[in-house]
Amino acid sequence: MKPLWAEPDDPNPATALGGYISSGAPLVAGFELAAIVLVLTDQHVAHYVPLAGPAIAAMTGSAALMVSSIRYGFWAVSYWTTPAERLMWDPAAVVSLESLMRQRFMLAGRMVNFQKLRARAEHLFEVGLIIFLLAIAMMLIPDHWRASGTGWRWAAVVLAGFAFLVHLAWSVGKWLHERFLAWLGRLESKAKNDAKSRTIRMQFAKHGDNVLVSCLVLIWPPAHETDFDDPEPPGAADIFGIRRS
């Protein structure tokens, strides 16, 4: 256990996850349901959307992934608690070391469950969103490659394909970045009985992660490490102002 309350890696993970499960996933799933109904009930859809069958199958799979993401996300948020809440539920932890350690262990256990369920909910949402963009691209493909009036549809296909590639690179790159960091953590924690081999693998992992981050920094800013200036110590005027307030 750390000497202080464990701080999450992300600034506000529960609120961010709530955005997935309360707005993003239901909105996408609802749009897909409406599109499926429209395509199935339109008599002329085969002429205007030649890939209607694969598009419907993709949207159905995407909607199922979105619903699963909502379920896992709701379950994850139910495990989220803060140190202030734990102290409010057990006021004795403020003065009792035994109570404090019990609350810290309980918070750590809930945090492990939250992180596992949150990762699953986010992965389901990301895969569902990628399939959703692929379905949009398939619905936009016209019947004939060189038919008149299809120029704008092909432009829309290109834009949907670009969004698909961006989200695919985002999801795969984030997953690889997390794997590189986990690999480095395991290498650093191993005994130094094979120092040479371990050093070579650590250098390879660091170089691979640096290359990955440099490629993804434009679409995934959190991957880039940012240097922050050290806060200056408060002066006498600042302390006096705090006391007066």
pLDDT at residue 245 in the model: 47
Q: Is the model more confident about 3 or about 164?
A: 164
Q: Are residues 136 and 20 part of one domain?
A: yes
Sequence-distant (6+) residues with CB within 8 A of 74 are 21
User: Within a domain: residue 233?
Assistant: no
Q: Are residues 163 and 137 part of one domain?
A: no
Sequence-distant (6+) residues with CB within 8 A of 51 are 138, 139, 141
Q: Are residues 156 and 124 part of one domain?
A: no
pLDDT digits (tens, 9 = 90+) for 63-72: 999 999 998 9
Q: How confident is the model at residue 57 (pLDDT cuts 50, 70, 90)?
A: very high
Residue where a domain terminates, one of 124, 141, 158: 141
Q: Are residues 131 and 68 part of one domain?
A: yes
pLDDT at residue 22 in the model: 83
pLDDT at residue 1 in the model: 46
Q: Are residues 187 and 88 part of one domain?
A: no
Q: Are residues 12 and 127 part of one domain?
A: yes
pLDDT at residue 206 in the model: 75
User: Within a domain: residue 192?
Assistant: yes
Residue where a domain terminates, one of 125, 141, 157: 141
pLDDT digits (tens, 9 = 90+) for 169-203: 878 877 777 777 777 777 766 655 556 666 777 77
Mean pLDDT, the chain, as a whole number?
A: 78
User: Within a domain: residue 46?
Assistant: yes
User: Within a domain: residue 232?
Assistant: no
Domain that holds residue 152: 147-226
Q: How many separate domains does the chain show? A: 2
Q: In angstroms, rounded to a whole number, what is the distance separating the alpha carbons of residues 166 and 173?
A: 10
pLDDT digits (tens, 9 = 90+) for 88-107: 888 888 778 888 888 888 88
Q: Is the model more confident about 200 or about 23?
A: 23
Q: Are residues 3 and 75 part of one domain?
A: yes
Q: Are residues 119 and 154 part of one domain?
A: no
Q: Are residues 111 and 16 part of one domain?
A: yes
| pLDDT for 111 beyond 50 | yes
Sequence-distant (6+) residues with CB within 8 A of 104 are 1, 5
Residue where a domain terminates, one of 123, 141, 159: 141
Q: Are residues 81 and 15 part of one domain?
A: yes
Q: Are residues 181 and 118 part of one domain?
A: no
Q: Are residues 161 and 131 part of one domain?
A: no
User: Within a domain: residue 109?
Assistant: yes
User: Within a domain: residue 240?
Assistant: no
Q: How confident is the model at residue 112 (pLDDT cuts 50, 70, 90)?
A: confident
**Residue whose pair of structure tokens reads 């469950």 in the numeric block:** 113
User: Within a domain: residue 168?
Assistant: yes
pLDDT at residue 62 in the model: 93
User: Within a domain: residue 242?
Assistant: no
